[in-house]
Amino acid sequence: MSYHKELAAAKKAASLAARLCQNVQKALLQSDVQSKTDKTPVTVADYGSQALVSFVLQQELRAEFSLVAEEDSKDLRKDGAQEIVERITKLVNYSLTSDGSYNVTLSTEDVLKAIDSGRSEGGSQGQHWVLDPIDGTKGFLRGDQYAIALALLDGGKVVLGVLACPNLPLTSLKDAGQHSPNNEVGCLFFAEVGGGTYMQPLDGSSAVKVQVSAVENPEEASFFESYEAAHSMHDLTSLIAQKLGVKAPPVRIDSQAKYGALSRGDGAIYLRFPHKGYREKIWDHAAGCIVVTGMDQFHSIIGFLSKC
């Protein structure tokens, strides 16, 4: 089965959402950042990105669809949230219309409903979209890496994935690292089951096929891990790397940008071990997983792991 139409819609949605996030990151206001009940941060860009992706999928696919996504409108419907909802609505309308993609004006209620269309429970039957509207919100707030991560599940398997990484350099992190001022940034990774993985600049120029690292000797390999020690046990990863014989220091990056960088061979190993008791969410891995395993790359990864 081919998912070309779904992939085109997902790329359009993630690219527009990336532009919304870039606009917010340029001029982030203190009032744009809220704290959720689990004490993790959420911003107008997380909500805006979710509303926008949900709207674009609905417009492009014109069919009933199920979306499992990170955010919901509960806090936005509380007293005192009207101003922030209006700011989100303005951001969404601007991002949808400024380059002529759509000719619409969504109301605040349209935006809240679009956010809440991400409340599906998912499941192993039928098709479900999986969205992290901003993965790496802490990285986004720091001006570092973050990703818009969108995947499609069919019968419980990930069949396509798109990762927009607005701050990831177009060239390998091996060459200039994450923060060189000469870096041109903004990558869109995408993969469809059986079709390999591609990367293109977020400005829309042409895509190139990417491959995971061919390094087989752990002494020559480098590894990616979460920037936040609260999200992954840095002590444990350091121990594992030591046992494997890895010599390079860890490359710490927020979000599924790690999977993007891994898919094009910037490093060879991904290590992320949450602390005891943390329950993983599917939107934190679905898109990144297919971008790295994009079928024809799968065997080289298995090959590498079996040698470790």
Ligand X SMILES: Nc1ncnc2c1ncn2[C@@H]1O[C@H](COP(=O)(O)O)[C@@H](OP(=O)(O)O)[C@H]1O
Binding residue for Mg ion (CB under 5 A) from 70, 144, 225, 266?
70
Q: Are residues 109 and 76 in contact, defined by beta-carbon separation less than 8 angstroms?
A: no
Q: Give catalytic status of residue 137 as yes or no.
A: yes
Which 104-123 positions form the footprint of ligand X (CB under 6 A)? none
Work out whether 132 is an interface residue with Mg ion (CB under 5 A).
yes
Whole-number Å distance between alpha carbons of 116 and 112: 6
Work out whether 136 is an interface residue with ligand X (CB under 6 A).
yes
Q: What DSSP element (H or E) covers 287?
A: helix 286-293
Stretch 244-283: interaction string toward Mg ion, x if CB under 5 A: ----------------------------------------
Work out whether 220 is an interface residue with ligand X (CB under 6 A).
no
Work out whether 144 is an interface residue with ligand X (CB under 6 A).
no
Q: Cβ 189 to ligand X, closest distance in Å?
A: 15
Task: Please spell the DSSP secondary structure of 70-103, one letter per residue.
Answer: S--STGGGSTT-HHHHHHHHHHHHHHHHTTSS--
Work out whether 236 is an interface residue with ligand X (CB under 6 A).
no
Binding partner selected for residue 113 from ligand X, Mg ion, none, CB under the kind-specific 5 to 8 Å limit: none
Work out whether 32 is an interface residue with ligand X (CB under 6 A).
no
CB nearer to ligand X: give 254 or 266. 254
Beta strands in 123-202 (DSSP E): 127-135, 147-154, 157-169, 185-192, 197-201
Whole-number Å distance between alpha carbons of 196 and 127: 21
**Residue type (1 letter), 233:** M
Point out the catalytic residue in the list 32, 46, 116, 266: 46
**Which segment (59-67, 93-101, 128-136, 211-219) binds ligand X by CB under 6 A?**
128-136
Whole-number Å distance between alpha carbons of 301 and 294: 11
Binding partner selected for residue 278 from Mg ion, ligand X, none, CB under the kind-specific 5 to 8 Å limit: ligand X
Q: Cβ 3 to Mg ion, closest distance in Å?
A: 23
Task: Return the closest-CA partner of residue 165 out of 28, 57, 54, 263.
Answer: 263
Work out the angle at residue 240's Cα, subtended by the Cα atoms of residues 165 and 151, and round it to the nearest 5 degrees: 30
Whole-number Å distance between alpha carbons of 255 and 194: 25
Binding residue for ligand X (CB under 6 A) from 2, 31, 35, 40?
40
* Chain centroid offset of residue 258 CA: 10
Work out whether 273 is an interface residue with ligand X (CB under 6 A).
no
284 is in an annotated binding site: yes
Point out the catalytic residue in the list 89, 137, 197, 293: 137
Binding residue for ligand X (CB under 6 A) from 98, 281, 299, 302?
281
Q: What is the DSSP code (8-state) at residue 212?
A: -
**Residue type (1 letter), 297:** Q
Whole-number Å distance between alpha carbons of 270 and 88: 34
Count other C-beta atoms under 10 Å from residue 54's C-beta. 25
Q: Cβ 201 to Mg ion, closest distance in Å?
A: 23
Q: Which residues bind ligand X (CB under 6 A)?
A: 40, 70, 132, 134-137, 226, 228, 230-232, 254-255, 272, 274-275, 278, 281, 284
Catalytic residues: 46, 137
Q: Which residues bind Mg ion (CB under 5 A)?
A: 40, 70, 132, 134-135, 137, 284
